[in-house]
Chain A
Amino acid sequence: MSETASSEPMLEINDLHIRFPVRRNMLGRVTVENHAVSGVDLTLMPGETLGLVGESGCGKTTLGRTIVGAQQATSGSIVYDGRDLTQLKNREKGRYRRQIRMVFQDPFSSLNPRMTLRQIIGDPLVATGEAKGAELEDRVAEMMRKVGLSPDYMDRYPHAFSGGQRQRVNIARALIVGPKLVVADEPVSALDVSVRAQILNLLRELQAEFGLTYLFISHDLSVVENIADRVAVMYFGKIVELADTAELYEKPSHPYTEALMSAVPIPDPSRRGRTGRVLLPDDLPDPTKPPPGCAFASRCRYAEAGRCDTGEVDFVDGVRCVRSEELELQGIAKTDAQ
């Protein structure tokens, strides 16, 4: 894994908001909105892998989809290469779509069952008219070899392949146009544990070979620990904690991070923490009516009435919690085997 070398950020997300209309009144004006992402600031450095974790519905996938341009932002900016991606005109989008690519979560629904691997992997080149004929075939074959698929299978349909192989196809399609940044949305969540490690290794090799930057979205902390340089924890549309991987796992600063970590199964009994599992009550706030104060307060076992449920909580020193200084939270020790 490459350490962050350059100081120029590759991607800068500033105060990004994404809201979905839920209900409209008779005039078509939106009356109820779902706040999927509410004020995210994130910076990606070239060559790094930033893990983005959080439970389902916290807005991490929406954030990823907005970065690649599959989703419109409501406000805020995503600056890449000096340009705000949220303000691009349609004809400019093509250039950025080639540099920022996405690997999808579901290896089954993300591959068109009626197309051969040749058509699927080569589609970005065909759609933009970049390559055809023998050149197209050569590039598809080369990409397939790079992701560990034999080019002999080029004319097969996705139904002949396993989940892990389909995910390799997904990766090949994402990388064939030579991107700089790859948003991997839960790329291994749908896979078996054994295959998962293969795909993670493949992603790491490809990162080294092509100098890629990853935004790695996952709900699985053990996977993120494995691949990420830094980890951002997202809760209810906001980043609640951001730290280097080792630091975060050893000593989380946000109660939500602690709760997430306590949910990671640890095979070695001697390494299981003293506190055991932190069970969160299942009362996520209504995303159409964000609560005042800390959004996690309703589920937090450290929450203090009067301090946590009033006023906006600022993001200070990589954590969004008013009590972070006072709390002594339990992490999980860095796994030794890599």
Chain B
Amino acid sequence: MTVKETEASPESAGAEGNGRRATASQRQLVWWSFKKHRLALVSAWVLGFMLVVIAFCEFFAPFDDRHRDSEYTTAPPQVLKLWDTDGPDGFQWGLHVDGYTSEQDPRSLRITYEANPEDRVDVGFFVKGEEYELFGLIPWDRHLIGPEDPEDPMYLLGTTTDGQDLLSQLVYATRVSASVGVIGVLLAFALGIVLGAISGYFGGWIDNVIQRVIELFMAVPSIPLWLGLAAALPADMSPVTRYFIITTILALVAWTGLAREVRGRFLALRGEEFVTSALLDGSSRRRVMFRHMLPSFSSHIIAALSLSIPSMILAETALSWLGLGLRPPAVSWGVQLQDASKWSVLSGAPWLLIPGLVVVIVVLAFNFVGDGMRDAADPYKH
């Protein structure tokens, strides 16, 4: 056999035209393919905006979440106007909303509000309002938008039956509901990944035990389980404790699906020779599981993560709406929607459904981003 030695070079890399793809890290490849998914990209922007709002929610909300104006309960949304033609001086520029006139029905005692163009409420950006502390540290009193005189009513999305500003409440509720979703999913994932990995990697009786436990959790209908666990919480618990316990309860129900998925992946990978070779290289089992095997499908996990946040958010919303999750004074989307659960109230105040709309938008955004990531997750599939 006569064959001359040739210096090896990655010819396939050359064939791809440039070295960009060959040397690109997995993250870059995923990002390039994610960018092609238009809807996912738009959704990612929506979620990014939501994140900013969550981080600076005291600044974005015109009023504090405890702000209550008993003068204006269930007042309709106001229209933001750029100029004014009804004022005493005729046409006039200036951002403002119309104030309200109220009228009480003598028989039902229900108060109805009408926009009153005579009563002009000047609105400005970066106005001084209620004082707050950003991140609990930096004291400030500016709000992105608000009435120039903090005593004036400015309710862009109307008010609740308690006379709270729906917009401010919505901003604070977004922080609570979205973070329940994200934190809950992270908890569920920590549990699911570790148990799924152990189950799939070791197999045998360990696998058997974990799988039976998962089946047990899956066999219990999740809504009664939530209800039961949530109902067991004492009513006088502080909102913060309640928040964390509700999040944990949601996570305890949600981890099973992911554990199954991770187990399947580990089972499939266990037979791969690179796993054997990693063991022979002297890696500990934990290193093999979490450094060699897990990265092979980390992108799938991230995709699964963003796909399971919506169900977590919806679960929290449902629980709170039923009065078993978070309770006032905590605000979440579910708590807000409680207001809209009576038809008699809703028929006169349809704006109370706006939090529901936000739930739909956020849930869809998480789903689209998850879809995009799932498609982009395996950049090596060609």
| A residues whose Cβ falls under 8 Å from a Cβ of B | 65, 68-70, 94, 97-98, 101-102, 104-106, 109-115, 123-124, 127-128, 148-150, 153, 155-157, 159-162, 164-165, 168, 173, 194, 197-198, 200-202, 226, 335, 337-338
Contact = CB atoms under 8 A, between A and B. Distances in A.
A155 B3 contact: no
A160 B274 contact: no
The 3 closest A-B pairs by CB, nearest first: A197-B3, A110-B273, A160-B22
Contact of B273 (A109, A168, A335, A337): A109
Nearest to A202: B5
B281 A123 contact: yes
A111 B8 contact: no
Contacts of B296: 112-114
Contacts of B6: 198
Contacts of B274: 109-112
A153 B12 CA distance: 12
B280 interface: yes
Contact of A197 (B1, B26, B278): B1
A164 to B, nearest CB: 7
Contact of A114 (B13, B279, B295): B295
A104 B2 contact: no
Contacts of A173: 277, 281
Given A94-B282, A155-B23, A156-B22, A148 B7 contact: yes
Interface in B237-279: 272-274, 276-279
27 contacts: A65-B276, A70-B280, A97-B281, A102-B277, A104-B276, A112-B278, A114-B26, A114-B296, A123-B281, A127-B278, A127-B282, A127-B283, A128-B282, A148-B5, A148-B7, A148-B8, A149-B8, A155-B23, A156-B22, A157-B22, A157-B26, A160-B12, A160-B21, A162-B10, A197-B3, A201-B5, A337-B2
Given A112-B274, A157-B26, A161-B13, 4 more contacts: A114-B26, A115-B295, A150-B7, A197-B1
A157 B273 CA distance: 17
Contact of A123 (B1, B21, B278, B295): B278
Interface in B265-318: 272-274, 276-284, 287, 292, 295-296
A181 to B, nearest CB: 13
B3 A201 contact: yes
A165 B280 contact: no
Contacts of A113: 296, 380
A200 to B, nearest CB: 8
A304 B203 CA distance: 47
Contacts of A164: 8
A161 B1 contact: no
Interface of B: 1-3, 5-13, 16, 21-23, 26, 272-274, 276-284, 287, 292, 295-296, 380
A226 B281 CA distance: 29
Given A114-B295, A124-B282, A173-B281, A160 B8 contact: no
B276 A153 contact: no
B360 to A, nearest CB: 36
B1 A337 contact: yes
Contacts of B22: 156-157, 159-160
A198 B281 contact: no
Nearest to A144: B8
Contacts of A111: 274
A316 B234 CA distance: 83
Contacts of A201: 3, 5
B11 A162 contact: yes
A123 B283 contact: yes
B22 to A, nearest CB: 4
B186 to A, nearest CB: 22
Contacts of B16: 160
Instruction: Among B274, B279, B283, find the residue whose CB has the most chain A CB atoms closer than 10 A.
Output: B274
A39 to B, nearest CB: 25
Given A156-B10, A160-B10, A101 B272 contact: no
Given A114-B295, A198-B3, A162 B280 contact: no
Contact of B8 (A102, A165, A338): A165
Instruction: Among B1, B278, B296, find the residue whose CB has the most chain A CB atoms closer than 10 A.
Output: B1
B12 A127 contact: no
B278 A160 contact: no
Contacts of A337: 1-2
A124 B284 CA distance: 11
A109 B11 contact: no
A194 B369 CA distance: 47
Nearest to A170: B277
Contacts of A128: 281-282
A168 B281 contact: no
A148 B5 CA distance: 9
Given A110-B274, A114-B295, A168-B8, A69 B280 contact: yes
Contacts of B9: 150
A69 B2 CA distance: 36
A112 B2 CA distance: 33
A194 B281 contact: no
Nearest to A112: B274
A98 B21 CA distance: 34
B11 A127 contact: no
A194 B3 contact: yes
Contacts of A148: 5, 7-8
A107 B162 CA distance: 69
A198 B23 contact: no
B37 to A, nearest CB: 22
B95 to A, nearest CB: 54
A173 B281 CA distance: 9
B140 to A, nearest CB: 45
Instruction: Among A70, A109, A198, A335, find the residue whose CB has the most chain B CB atoms closer than 10 A.
Output: A109
Contacts of A68: 280
